[in-house]
Structures are given as C-alpha cells and as structure tokens.
Chains A and B, each alone.
Chain A
Amino acid sequence: MSGDTILGFDEAMAKYDPVLGFEVHVELNTATKMFSSAPNVFGDEPNTNVNEVDLGLPGVLPVVNRKAVESSILIGLALNCKIAEHCTFARKQYFYPDTPKNFQTSQYEDPIAYDGYLDVELEDGTVFRVEIERAHMEEDAGKLTHMGGAAGRIQGADFSLVDYNRAGVPLVEIVTKPIEGAGSRAPELAKAYVAAVREIVKNLGVSEARMERGNVRCDANVSLRPYGREKFGLRSETKNVNSLRAIEHAVRFEIQRHAAILDAGESVVQETRHWHEDTKSTTSGRPKSDADDYRYFPEPDLVPIVSTPEWVEELRARLPEPPAERRKRLQADWGYTDLEFRDVVNAGVMGEIEETVAAGATPAVARKWWMGEIARRAKLADVDPAALGVTPAVVVELDRLIASGAINDKLAREVLDGVLAGEGGPAEVVDARGLAVVSDDGALQAAIDTALAAQPDVAEKIRGGKLQAIGAIVGGVMKVTKGQADPGRVRELILKTLGVEG
C-alpha cells in the first residue's frame, strides 16, 4: 500500500517551502451529548449510551447542550478568538454509516469563535504564532469496526459493525489559517501546536484531552511550494493522527512524499490520507463522492446561539492562567534551570510533573522519574510518556518506598515493571515479588563478615582511614544479597564492624 517514494527530508527542505494547516477536533467531557441527553461516556458496551436522537431515528429533534456551548466559548477565549454575538448551526451532508442522520450537525458560516491565535513555543524556546481561523461546535460520529479484512482496516473488509455510543459526543473543531514560514521546523511545529492545544483544553477542564482515546484528534494539511512562490501548492489532508509523535512523523512523511512527487514533475493529488503508525507512512484515503458538495444549509431544528457580553465575561472570568504564565510560575516554583524546564516541556510531561508534585513528590523527584525512567520506557515503547500508564500516585509511592529504605533505585525499576504489568500498586508489587531490601542486620552482618574476611587488605585500608576503599566491600555485600540491601545501611555496618567513625 505504502509504495510511495519519498525524498530525504533535508533535500526536500532545500527545495521546497512547506505550508501547514491543522484541524484539531476536541471531544468535550460533558456529561451528555451535544444534542441529546444520552450519556457521553467512553468505552461502554456498544449502543448502550444512545437514545433515539443519537440513532437518528425518524421523528427526532436535537436540543443544544448549554455546557458544550460554554466549553466552546472557553476554548475560543483561550485561543484569543472573538466570540460570535450570534451564531447558528448548519447541516453538513454526506452519507456514511457512522453518521446516523447522514448529515453532521455543525457550524458553517458563523462559527462560535473566530480570528484568534496561539503562541507556540518550540524546543529551543522560539515562539511561533499560529493564527486561528475558527473554532466551531459539532457532533462526533459513531465508531466503525471493519471485519473480515486484515488488521481491522477498511481495505479488504467484508463488512463493518457500527457502534453509535460516540455519535453525538460534543466536538469543537479548531481550524488554523495557513501556517507559512515554519521551514524545516514544520514537523516540530506541528507537534508543538497540537501539544499546546491539548494543554489548553486540559487546563480548561473541558476535555479529558487523552489523545490515545481520541479526545484530541488532528488532521494535518501539508502542501509544498518552491521557495519564493506565493501561491500554495496542492495539499493533502492526513487524518487519524492520534499522538504527538505521530503528528510530527506524519507531517515529516508528507513533506518528503510531496517533494518526491514534485521532483518527478508530477502534481500532488488533493486528497485525504490516512496515517499508519505501524508503517510510519500515509496511504490514500477513501475517495469521498460527496466531498465536493456538502450542501450546507442552516439547521432548521435549532435556533441561534446569542452570546451576550455578560455571558462571555462570566466565562472569561473562569479562564485558568494562560500557558506562558503558567510555565513561568511552575519553573519558579520548581526551581528548575531554563534547560531543565525546556526539556520537561519538550518531553510533554509538564502537566504530569505538576500533578506528581501536587500528589506529594518533590519537584526534583518528579523530574527524576518523568525525565528518567518513564521517559526511557516511553521511548522504547514508542508512545508519549503520559500514555505509558504511570500515574502520579505511582511515582509518589515509589519515591516513598525508596525514601523509607524499603527499596532502592534498582528495585524501584523492577517494581515499576510489576505496576505496568498490572500486578497492582508499588507496595503490592514489592510484597508479591519479594523485592524489599534486606534490612535484617543479622543477615547483613554475616555477609559483611564474609566480605571483610575475603579482602583483609581492603579492611586494613579502611581501618587506616582510607574510607573510599569501602566501595569494594559494599559491592561484595550487594553481590551476595543480590542487590536487595540498602547500600547506606551496609556502609554503616561495615564502619561499625571495623570500629571506624563514618
């Protein structure tokens, strides 16, 4: 499928100027759907969180969820948008089995929020302003599962099964203006932009913002043009890009793919592409026969939303601290250096560290874990650190176990293995796997005596005041105890045995 030839990224960038655009869909975390009172819940039994409205049964009518409108306005305000004084809903018409009415109730000519911007900080601290065209309200579709083909793909499937639990979940679609001038930093900007949007909606409390669950989904538009040319090239729209890393990769891949096409003197097909995490490439999406004509018209079953200045100001007062200010505050609170803090931001774990600190860890401990062991494992697993499954509570508990001497750093990593394997919380894993450090002084003393007897010359040096030589004895003890000893306690006991003041 992915037999596309691609050009090296540096070569592509040397020849072509990329223009980006993003449509980010944010699922709101309201209790009910956008237009029905059925519950907005993830992951239940199929077709149990629906009523007749979500199924689009004959005769049904929509009613707007006030909280969803307020969440949309909050998102608009956080993106520095203007809020429409008067806006309407419209029907976007296309036939697809995940779309119960065969039209999506959305907004068209008059989105609730428009003309905003978002300042996105790149890894080196450069701030890039992304202009926001609009943020509008709409509803999510149901979920299709393709059966009978390979790996649940639509291609080659014999039939599909539809679950409408997600149908009608409130969405806010955030659309950027064309983003020019990113140059070779386009993939990095793509990732940083989506991360920034995710951070905003999470801080607003309007979305769970879990990309792995599809709470935040990104469609990335990419086009290339020769440097110096004003007119945009033909673009592709890559859908289904559902992690920050994937967004970076997908934009990079599309730039390379477009460049190869242009280099061959051919023209890019303006189409939908699908991102495939397994092959790290895109394939051509289904050709949508309706795509050229959605026949939008004002939704006659809904009346306009009028946002009074009082209402907007009341919502504005609910806005949390803007991200840039929040970063400044957190860096100061945590006492990280500029470099440390930027690494944290770039790793996408600032929120996780904040939660971990809130759960009781020191900023240093939180950073040690999220930038160390967890980051390492996330990289191996090729997922975002936040998606690994380590909660702030786990980090706090691991740290507490280390501080109490129950385990050491090495054992803590094993404990984490157990936690991630679903064996329970850290304390349970310690018990179940028998990982507690050997703190029985009698057992340790025996090991120490053996080690000292085996290396009498070293023992003599320590007695003579050369304390740095103690490492050899400690190492011997740790070897005998298979690492399950507290090195600090071992050291104390050695010194005591030899009658030396530590």
Chain B
Amino acid sequence: MAAINRDDVAHLAQLAHIEMSDAELDKMAGELAVIVDSVKSVSEAAGADVPATSHPIPLANVMRDDVVGHVLTAEQALSGAPDTEDGRFKVPAILEED
C-alpha cells in the first residue's frame, strides 16, 4: 500500500469537506502515515476464503409496517438550524458567482 502524503490528505480533506491549512495538512500527513503503517497488517490477516462480517450479531429482514408515525412540527424541525426563511432551511449559494 502506498504511503500517505500531503497531497493525499488534501484530497481526503476535500472529500470530507474539512478546510485545512498547510500546517494542518503536513501534521495530519505525518500522523496518518504512522497510523496507516500500524494497521496495514490487517490486509494480510485474512485469506480470500474468509467472509466479511458487517454486523456482529447477524439479523435479517428487520422491517416496519407502512404505517404513519410521529412527525415534527416545522417549528421543531427548524429549531436547531443556523438560518431559516419561510419555513425552510436557508443555505448559501450552491454555485460560485461567475
């Protein structure tokens, strides 16, 4: 596995939507390299014949009936929002101005 470098971290930070300064990127790259190195044995631990476990206790077909339950009022729904207008959540422009 490739070592993790500063550019990788910059790309990951972009995917994760976390703004990072150059100094943070450098620090994070160093720390992640150590962590990634320490966990890489995992990729060699299990053979191809070992199935993956996604849930510790296997369950299946947990479903609910199609019956309407509780709803929040619009006031409750919007109560924690940083910004609202006309009963809706207000967000800054999605695209940059040309």
SS of B interface (majority): loop
- In the bound complex, what is the Cα–Cα distance between A45 and B71 (angstroms)? 13
A38 touches B15 (CB 8 A): no
A 70-109 to B, binary, CB cutoff 8 A, 1 in contact else 0: 0000000000000000101000000101000010000000
Cβ-neighbour of B15 out of A39, A164, A295 (below 8 A): A295
Interface residue ranges of A7-55 to B (CB < 8 Å): 30-32, 36-39, 45-52, 55
A161 touches B59 (CB 8 A): no
Known: A31-B67, A64-B63. Is A52-B72 also a contact (CB below 8 A)?
yes
B15 touches A51 (CB 8 A): no
Known: A51-B69, A65-B66, A160-B91. Is A303-B60 also a contact (CB below 8 A)?
yes
- In the bound complex, what is the Cα–Cα distance between A187 and B60 (angstroms)? 43
A32 touches B66 (CB 8 A): yes
Chain A, Cβ-Cβ closest to B89: A162
B59 touches A303 (CB 8 A): yes
User: Closest approach, in angstroms, between the C-beta of B7 and any C-beta of chain A?
Assistant: 15
Chain A residues closer than 8 Å to B15, beta-carbon distance: 289-290, 293, 295
B60 touches A305 (CB 8 A): yes
Interface: A69 (CB within 8 A): yes
Chain B, Cβ-Cβ closest to A155: B95
Known: A51-B71, A64-B64. Is A97-B77 also a contact (CB below 8 A)?
no
Known: A144-B94, A300-B55. Is A67-B66 also a contact (CB below 8 A)?
yes
A49 touches B95 (CB 8 A): no
Chain B residues closer than 8 Å to A68, beta-carbon distance: 66
Chain B residues closer than 8 Å to A51, beta-carbon distance: 69-72
Chain B, Cβ-Cβ closest to A297: B54
Interface residue ranges of B64-98 to A (CB < 8 Å): 64-74, 77-78, 80, 85-95, 97-98
Chain B residues closer than 8 Å to A145, beta-carbon distance: 88
Interface: A146 (CB within 8 A): yes
User: Closest approach, in angstroms, between the C-beta of B53 and any C-beta of chain A?
Assistant: 10
| Interface residue count on the A side (C-beta < 8 Å) | 55
Known: A52-B72, A305-B60. Is A30-B66 also a contact (CB below 8 A)?
yes
Chain A residues closer than 8 Å to B86, beta-carbon distance: 46, 161
User: Closest approach, in angstroms, between the C-beta of A79 and any C-beta of chain B?
Assistant: 22
Chain A, Cβ-Cβ closest to B11: A293
Chain A, Cβ-Cβ closest to B14: A289
Interface: A63 (CB within 8 A): yes
- In the bound complex, what is the Cα–Cα distance between A31 and B80 (angstroms)? 27
Chain A residues closer than 8 Å to B91, beta-carbon distance: 97, 159-162
A50 touches B93 (CB 8 A): no
Chain B residues closer than 8 Å to A277, beta-carbon distance: none
Chain B, Cβ-Cβ closest to A31: B66
Chain B, Cβ-Cβ closest to A305: B61
B71 touches A46 (CB 8 A): no
Known: A46-B88, A159-B90. Is A303-B67 also a contact (CB below 8 A)?
no
A49 touches B71 (CB 8 A): yes
**Which 8 interchain pairs have the tightest Cβ spacing?**
A37-B69, A67-B66, A66-B63, A161-B88, A162-B89, A303-B59, A306-B60, A47-B77
A-B contact list, 23 entries, CB within 8 Å? A37-B64, A46-B74, A47-B88, A48-B71, A48-B73, A50-B71, A64-B62, A65-B64, A68-B66, A86-B60, A95-B17, A97-B91, A145-B88, A157-B93, A160-B90, A160-B92, A161-B89, A162-B89, A164-B89, A300-B54, A302-B62, A303-B60, A305-B63
Extra contacts, 9 of them, besides A31-B67, A163-B88 (Cβ < 8 A), are A48-B71, A48-B74, A67-B65, A97-B91, A146-B94, A289-B14, A293-B15, A300-B55, A304-B60
- Chain A residues near B (Cβ < 8 Å): 30-32, 36-39, 45-52, 55, 57, 63-69, 86, 88, 95, 97, 102, 144-146, 154-164, 286, 289-290, 293, 295, 298, 300, 302-306
